[in-house]
């Protein structure tokens, strides 16, 4: 049993971690290359990217609903149910993204003003957002299809597509930022163009995989029009709390950038580099959480709750180990980042201590992500995360940050430190929920399509 768990989790973790590393590498490449353009470009792209972070959480929430249903139905080998789930997730994803893309294309200045009053940052960020409007639409389809593929264990296909897109993105970043091969030097806008082209290529790759390689599931927009009231009800019941959870958390986390954005460009620039390093530090623990959620969903779909409980216990031990590794990686990376960063003296001071704060912060994030977004969601327990994160972020962390920054006017590093207590405040409730075992559920239905026909 032990060997089976670790062999299964390894097959899922490795491709997911590689994808997360590549994603972090692209973000890192953006920041490193923009570092040679100027601090304003780094800051503007960092602030504008908060919208992509929110949108990613939308995709993640919808993908979570699709994944947890698909993973359990894959345990039952019910492909038709998975096709319906894919169509439902695509409907929500495309419609929500159309709204985001509309604002990014036609009102980008307004979107930037929410984060900063700096005219230069608004102008740079607006140009970035206009181009990104195209990227968002492609992304809305890609993320859902890849989530479905991962839920049935096809993580390697997803990894290959991400390698293609991310490698192209880094190459094109260099071309458009530095004006290589006769291309114009476009700075921050060049980053957006590179991202848009790479996403279009990735979407074409998904279509190719669907047509030529995937025998089980297609990327078929016709699935959006399949009607099944029972599955729609289950998807809404499970996915919307997860979606609400992720949006609530990501918008609240974006408020951290709003707070820092009003404390000066030095704080914003330092935080931009910190986010990149933290992303590298968390790839292993977050990959373990994602893989664990898929594996637990498959097992619960088979109806083996005792094995699911045992797997969850082993997953938690892995999470603590990977969280510790993440903190050590950030600590090791700190002197290298400090050596190569090209920021003002004040920003460099902020950067050093923000990185040190994150050496322990990743452990809090690792445990909570594994339990809330991995273990609990695998059994369909999505409401707890919504309630827990909303209270933690909106009743504790965000108000605390605003009060610290604008009422007591504490130094930037004290404000940042207080914001980074959010993950540890919710530990007692999250761990108590885990020990209760209320998340152990088989959420599949019997005779699903026979019911739909009646």
Q: Closest Cα partner for 54 from 2, 160, 132, 127?
A: 132
Q: What DSSP character marks residue 184?
A: -
> For the chain (length 454 residues), average pLDDT per consecutive 10?
71 80 64 66 75 78 80 79 87 89 86 80 84 86 86 80 83 82 77 84 87 69 81 82 81 84 85 84 83 83 82 89 92 90 86 93 90 85 89 93 93 93 92 89 69 47
Q: How far apart are CA 426 and CA 406, in angstroms?
A: 25
Going by C-beta distance under 8 Å and a sequence separation of 6 or more, which residues neighbour residue 53? 250, 253, 254
**What per-residue confidence (pLDDT) applies to 26?**
62
Q: How far apart are CA 387 and CA 374, in angstroms?
A: 16
DSSP string, 281-332: HHHHHHHHHHHHHHHHHHHHHTT-HHHHHHHHHHHHHHHHHHHHHHHHHHHH
Q: Determine the Cα angle at 154 with ends 229 and 94, to 5°.
A: 45
Q: What DSSP character marks residue 405?
A: I
pTM: 0.72
**What per-residue confidence (pLDDT) applies to 412?**
92
**What per-residue confidence (pLDDT) applies to 453?**
47
Q: Closest Cα partner for 145 from 95, 102, 197, 209?
A: 209
Q: Determine the Cα angle at 162 with ends 161 and 167, to 5°.
A: 105
Q: What tens digit of pLDDT does each residue of 290-328 get?
A: 888 888 887 887 777 888 888 888 888 888 998 999 999
């Amino acid at each position: 049993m032990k060997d089976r768990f670790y062999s299964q989790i390894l097959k899922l973790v490795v491709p997911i971690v590689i994808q997360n590393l590549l994603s972090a590498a692209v973000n890192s490449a953006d920041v490193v290359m923009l570092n040679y353009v100027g601090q304003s470009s780094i800051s503007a792209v960092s602030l504008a990217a908060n919208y992509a972070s929110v949108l990613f959480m939308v995709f993640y929430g919808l993908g979570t609903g699709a994944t947890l249903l698909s993973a359990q139905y894959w345990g039952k080998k019910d492909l038709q149910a998975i096709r319906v789930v894919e169509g439902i997730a695509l409907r929500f994803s495309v419609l929500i993204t159309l709204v985001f893309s509309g604002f990014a294309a036609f009102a980008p200045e307004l979107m930037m003003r929410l984060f900063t009053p700096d005219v230069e940052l608004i102008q740079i960020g607006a140009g970035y957002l206009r181009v990104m409007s195209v990227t968002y639409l492609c992304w809305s389809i890609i993320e859902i299809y890849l989530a479905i593929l991962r839920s049935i264990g096809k993580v390697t296909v997803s990894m290959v597509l991400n390698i293609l897109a991310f490698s192209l993105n880094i190459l094109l970043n260099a071309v458009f930022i530095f004006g290589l091969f006769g291309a114009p030097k476009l700075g921050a806008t060049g980053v957006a163009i590179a991202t848009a082209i790479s996403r279009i290529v990735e979407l074409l790759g998904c279509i190719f995989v669907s047509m030529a390689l995937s025998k089980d599931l297609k990327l078929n927009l016709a699935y959006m029009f399949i009607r099944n009231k029972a599955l729609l009800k289950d998807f809404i019941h499970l996915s919307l709390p997860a979606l609400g959870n992720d949006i609530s958390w990501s918008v609240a986390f974006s408020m951290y950038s709003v707070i820092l954005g009003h404390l000066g460009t030095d704080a914003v620039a330092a935080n931009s580099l910190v986010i990149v390093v933290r992303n590298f530090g968390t790839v292993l623990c977050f990959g373990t959480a994602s893989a664990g959620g898929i594996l637990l969903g498959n097992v619960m779909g088979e109806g083996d709750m005792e094995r699911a409980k045992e797997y969850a216990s082993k997953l938690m031990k892995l999470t603590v180990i990977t969280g510790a590794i993440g903190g050590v990686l950030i600590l090791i990376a700190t002197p290298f980042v400090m050596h190569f960063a090209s920021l003002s003296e004040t920003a460099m001071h902020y950067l050093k201590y923000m990185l040190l704060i994150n050496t322990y912060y990743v452990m809090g994030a690792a445990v909570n992500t594994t339990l809330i977004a991995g273990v609990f969601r695998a059994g369909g327990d999505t409401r707890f995360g919504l309630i827990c994160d909303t209270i933690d972020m909106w009743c504790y962390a965000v108000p605390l940050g605003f009060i610290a920054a604008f009422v007591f006017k504490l130094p930037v590093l004290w404000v940042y430190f207080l914001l980074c207590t959010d993950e540890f405040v919710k530990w007692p409730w999250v761990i108590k929920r885990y020990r209760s075992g209320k998340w152990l559920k088989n959420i599949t239905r019997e005779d699903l399509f026979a019911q739909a026909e009646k």
